[in-house]
Structure 1
Amino acid sequence: MRQSHVRLPVRAAFALVAGTLFAGTALAHGGGLRAASGDLSVPTWLFLLTGGGVVGASFLLASFVTDRAFIRAVHGWRRVADAPLDAAMALTRVLSVAALFGIVAIGLFGPERMFRNAAILLVWVGWWAGYVATIYLVGNSWPALNPWRAVAEWVPTLDREYPERLGAWPSVVGLLAVVWLEVVSPLADDPRLLTWVIVGYSVVTLTGALVFGPDAWFGKADPVARLCRYYGQVAPIQRAEGGGLELRPPGAALTDPLPDDGRDGVAFVVAILWVTTYDGFVGTPLWGDIARGAVGLGVPAVVLYPTALLAGYALFLGVYWLASGFSRRTAETYLKPDAIARRFAPSLLPIAAGYHLAHFLGLSLSLSPALVSALSNPLQPPINPSVIVLPDWFGMLAVAFVLLGHLLAVWVAHASAYEVFPGRLQAIQSQYPFVVVMVLYTMSSLWIVSAPSAAPPFV
Structure 2
Amino acid sequence: MRSELLAHGLGGSTDLPIPVTYALIGGAWALAASFAVLLLAWKTPRLSPDRHMVRTPLAGVVDAPAFRAAVGAASVALAVWVGAASVLGPQDASNALLGVFYVLVWVGLVPASLVFGPVWRIVSPVRALYRVLPHGRPRTLPDGIGVVPAVLGLLAFVWLELASSDPGSVAAVRTWCLLYVVILLGGALIFGEEWFARADPFEVFSDTVARLSILARDTETRALVLRNPLDGAATLPVRRGTVAVTATLLGSTAFDSLAQTPSWKSFARDLGDPVLIRTAGLLACVAVVGSAFWLAARTTGGVTRERRAQLPGLLAHSLIPIVVGYFFAHYLTYLVEKGQQSVFTLFDPFDRGWNPLGIADASVNYALSSHPSVVASITVLCVVIGHIVGVTLAHDAALRLLPKKDALLGELALMLVMVLYTFLGLFLLFGA
TM-score higher than 0.5: yes
Pair 1:46-2:22 in alignment:
yes
One-letter amino acid matched to 1:65: A
Q: Deviations over 1:25-55 (max 9, x none)?
A: x989754042588622433322211111111
SS at match of 2:298: helix
Is 2:182 aligned against 1:206?
Answer: no
Equivalent residue, structure 1, for 2:251: 274
Does 1:156 pair with 2:156?
Answer: no
Residue in structure 1 matching 2:400, options 411, 415, 419? 419
Q: Name which of 415, 424, 427 aligns with 1:435.
A: 415
The 5 A counterparts of 1:48-447 are 48-68=24-44, 71-72=46-47, 76-83=51-58, 84=60, 85-87=62-64, 88-114=67-93, 116-158=94-136, 159-185=138-164, 188-215=167-194, 217-241=195-219, 242-256=221-235, 258-259=236-237, 261-293=238-270, 295=271, 299-326=272-299, 328-329=300-301, 332-334=302-304, 336-380=307-351, 386-389=363-366, 390=369, 391-392=371-372, 393-421=374-402, 423=404, 426-447=406-427
Contact 1:33-1:362 at 8 Å conserved across structures:
yes
Whose relative contact order is higher, 1 or 2, with alpha carbons under 8 Å and at least 6 apart?
1
Query: Over the residues paired in the alignment, what is the CA RMSD in angstroms?
Result: 2.7
Closer, same or farther: CA 95–194 of 1 in aligned 2, 3 Å: same
2:357 corresponding residue in structure 1 = none
Q: Is the 8 A contact 2:49 2:234 kept in 1?
A: no
CA distance in 2, matches of 1:228, 1:37: 31
Which residue type is aligned with residue 345 of structure 1? A
One-letter identity of the residue aligned with 1:317: G
Pick which of 426-435 and 46-55 moved more: 426-435
- For 1:244-286, what per-residue CA distance to the aligned partner results, in whole angstroms no more than 9, with x for missing partners? 2121112321123x32x24422222322222222232212222
Q: How many residues align?
A: 414
Q: Deviations over 1:287-322 (max 9, x none)?
A: 1122123x1xxx322221222222332333322222
Amino acid at match of 1:232: A
**Post-superposition offset of 1:103:** 0.9
Provide the rounded CA distance (Å) in 1 between the counterparts of 2:116 and 2:384. Answer: 19
Stretches of structure 2 that go unaligned for 5 or more consecutive residues are 354-359
Q: Structure 2-normalised TM-score?
A: 0.87
The 1:372–1:167 alpha-carbon spacing in structure 2 relative to 1, beyond 3 Å, is closer
Superposition deviation, residue 138 in structure 1? 4.2
Q: Deviations over 1:208-263 (max 9, x none)?
A: 11122122x1122222211111111122211222122121112321123x32x244
> Matches of 2:141 and 2:205 in 1, distance apart?
20
State the Cα deviation string for residues 389-438 of structure 1 (Å, max 9, x = none): 32122221121111111111011111111222353x54344211000000
CA deviation profile, 1:141-163 (whole Å, cap 9, x unmatched): 11110111111122233523334
Segments of 5+ residues of structure 1 without an aligned counterpart are: 1-25, 453-459
For residue 404 of structure 1, what is the amino acid of its counterpart?
A: I
Q: In the aligned structure 2, how far is the partner of 1:301 from the partner of 1:187?
A: 11
| Contact 2:12-2:430 at 8 Å conserved across structures | no
TM-score, structure 1 as length reference: 0.82
